[in-house]
Amino acid sequence: MKQPIIERITWKASSYSMKLVCVNPRNTSKEGEKIGKKPELDRHLGSAYVIAKRTLRT
C-alpha cells in the first residue's frame, strides 16, 4: 500500500522540480511527545517538527 503512494509523491515532486528528502520516521513519536509538552503543541505537531528538523540536517 505504501509503495504506490511513495512513487506518486516522487513523481509529483520531480514534475514540480522539488527536491525530495526521505527521512526515517523512527522514534519521532517519542521525541514529539517531549516537544509536545509545551502548552501550544500536541504530540503530532511535535513529531512533525522532529521530521522537519531531520530533513534540514540532511
Question: pLDDT by residue (tens digit) across 1-58?
Answer: 678 998 999 999 999 999 888 888 888 888 888 877 777 788 888 888 888 888 888 6
- What is the Cβ-side half-sphere exposure of residue 8, based on CA atoms within 13 angstroms? 5
Annotated domain spans of the chain: 20-58
pLDDT digits (tens, 9 = 90+) for 31-45: 888 877 777 788 888
Give me 29's grid cell. Answer: 513519536
